[in-house]
């Protein structure tokens, strides 16, 4: 039976939606109706911002350790409901349940705990000559989040903003929103003061633009497409509001000639296909020496045989479906484009995986002999599609990696960490992993170029929500 949500969380209570208009949320694995949520109006968005503005004076001056205590309790409650959250997001997004508990539920839990500790330990003042530098919360923050890692992206913004002393209005993605309602329930349960956190669901052009444009909104923290991020900047510029943007990516994974190909190629496949490729930092361009292209292809094809898609709830595969019918058609469109532009298809393609005609499945796909000027090498596909690009020299590999509108992430594999580190320094991206280095939720995450402005996670993500005041003595 479908979940039905008919209210927003505004000023510490659940407020029934004014409009009868709703959004439908579908189970990625089957295409069946999973939930319905209310479509917010401009009036409801404005009400949420007003509530956040009214709550800001008291919340911003509360002792930081007391704010941190609220966040610690939220982290504990998220841990208690981790199975429920993982199942919810596996249904909404399609990440296999065995991965969703650790990633989609576990990382947000850790992020709230980290920001709780940071609020208590942060040095809020420092002396510089005859000045005292005071760090103060920005104010009311509009948080607009995507569907691919829904609660993770919410936690990145909301936990840091609240720890900094800001108040929040959240508009989650209407494609994967139920996890946000769970978080709102937890905020209510832990007794967060009224108005400090507010939730309004709805479309970007209605609710999203309303909370960005409201004169009492001080900052916008947005994660999503580069196109939508440009629109946020356009609206915010009218009142010179602070904007933090985490946008698209087309990350290159450079495998140098002396790398361990037997380890690097499978790792690169996993980093491309995680969450069915619906990851902004996915390593979607694999750069290999032309002299070893055939070897790389053989390893990639052998690896992809272990990525047979399966139902995210009942299956045992690392690969589930895409989030929606629209996303499936988008990805298939890019696969057609790759074929039409002359890339060589060596795995997957346009045919639906056998036995998975229902739901939003796409076969894990690999193109080789890809040129970096091809559409599939330049545009973010957001699906399980890997482009293998051959290169003739290390300098050319670095140039190809940097030949992108984006600069979010990347990878380098080499015979030594020292060599990988040397090449990583030359890649213009916000993060680079070397020899399979693991994602670090305490390190700053964000991009160069059209991948965004600002950083999330850890100390640097926390400081995005602070102003600096100099008091001269």
Judge contact between 143 and 170, C-beta under 8 A. yes
SS (H, E, C) 73-99: HHHHHHHHCHHHHHHHHHHHHCCCHHH
pLDDT tens track for 265-283: 999 999 999 999 999 999 9
* CATH number of the 252-441 domain: 3.40.309.10
Number of Cβ within a 10 Å radius of residue 30: 17
Respond yes or no: is residue 272 known to be catalytic: no
**CB burial of residue 196 (10 Å; 0-12, 13-18, 19+):** buried
CA distance 410 to 402: 10
- The per-residue pLDDT for 94 is 96
Respond yes or no: is residue 280 known to be catalytic: yes
- The per-residue pLDDT for 465 is 98
Domain boundaries along the sequence of the chain: 3-247+451-472, 252-441
Which residue numbers in the chain have pLDDT < 50?
Answer: none
Catalytic annotation, pick one of 174, 280, 380, 464:
280
- The per-residue pLDDT for 439 is 94
Tokens of 370: 């890809």
- The per-residue pLDDT for 321 is 97
Nearest to 94 by CA among 270, 324, 323: 323
- The per-residue pLDDT for 1 is 84
- The per-residue pLDDT for 357 is 85
pTM: 0.96
- What residues pair up with 390 in beta bridges, in sequence order? 288
* CATH number of the 3-247+451-472 domain: 3.40.605.10
Report the alpha-carbon angle 246-465-53, nearest 5.
Answer: 110
Judge contact between 62 and 165, C-beta under 8 A. yes
How far is CA 52 from each of CA 37, 47, 60, rounded to the nearest angstrom?
A: 22, 9, 11
CA distance 200 to 218: 18
């Amino acid at each position: 039976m479908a979940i039905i949500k008919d209210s927003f969380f505004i000023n510490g209570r659940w407020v029934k939606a004014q409009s009868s208009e709703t959004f439908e949320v579908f189970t990625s694995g089957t295409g069946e109706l999973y939930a319905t949520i209310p479509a917010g109006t401009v009036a409801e968005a404005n009400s949420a911002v007003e509530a956040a503005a009214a709550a800001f004076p008291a919340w911003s001056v509360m002792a930081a350790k007391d704010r941190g205590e609220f966040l610690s309790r939220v982290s504990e409650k998220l841990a208690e409901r981790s199975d429920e959250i993982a199942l919810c997001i596996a249904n909404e997004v399609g990440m296999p349940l065995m991965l969703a508990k650790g990633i989609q539920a576990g990382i947000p839990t850790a992020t709230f705990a980290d920001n709780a500790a940071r609020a208590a330990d942060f040095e809020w003042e420092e002396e510089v000559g005859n000045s005292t530098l005071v760090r103060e919360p920005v104010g009311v923050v509009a948080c607009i989040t995507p569907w691919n890692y829904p609660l993770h992206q919410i936690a990145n913004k909301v936990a840091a903003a609240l720890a900094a002393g800001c108040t929040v209005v959240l508009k989650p993605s209407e494609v994967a929103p139920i996890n946000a309602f769970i978080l709102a329930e937890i905020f209510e349960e832990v007794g967060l003061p009224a108005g400090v956190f507010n939730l309004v669901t709805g479309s970007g052009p209605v609710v999203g633009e309303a909370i960005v444009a409201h004169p009492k909104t001080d900052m916008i923290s947005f994660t999503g497409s580069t196109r939508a991020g440009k629109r946020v900047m356009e609206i915010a510029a009218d009142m010179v509001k602070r904007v933090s943007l985490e946008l698209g990516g087309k990350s290159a994974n450079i495998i140098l000639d002396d790398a361990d190909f037997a380890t690097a190629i499978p790792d690169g496949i996993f980093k491309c296909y995680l969450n069915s490729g619906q990851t902004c930092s996915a390593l979607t361009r694999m750069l290999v020496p032309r002299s070893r292209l055939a070897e790389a292809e053989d390893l990639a094809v052998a690896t992809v045989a272990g990525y047979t898609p399966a139902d995210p709830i009942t299956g045992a595969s690392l690969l589930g479906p895409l989030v929606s019918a629209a996303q499936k058609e988008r990805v298939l469109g890019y696969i057609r484009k790759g074929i039409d532009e002359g890339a060589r298809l060596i795995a997957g393609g346009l045919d639906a995986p056998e036995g998975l005609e229902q739901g939003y499945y796409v076969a894990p796909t690999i193109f080789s002999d890809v040129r970096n000027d091809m559409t599939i090498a330049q545009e973010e596909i957001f699906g399980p599609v890997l482009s293998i690009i051959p290169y003739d020299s290390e300098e050319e590999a670095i140039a190809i990696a940097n030949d992108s509108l984006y600069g979010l992430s990347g990878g380098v594999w080499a015979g030594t960490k020292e060599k990988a580190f040397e090449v990583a320094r030359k890649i213009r991206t916000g993060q680079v992993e070397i020899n399979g280095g693991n994602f670090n939720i305490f390190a700053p995450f964000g991009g160069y170029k059209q991948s965004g402005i600002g950083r999330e996670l850890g100390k640097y993500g926390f400081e995005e929500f602070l102003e600096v005041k100099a008091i001269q003595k």
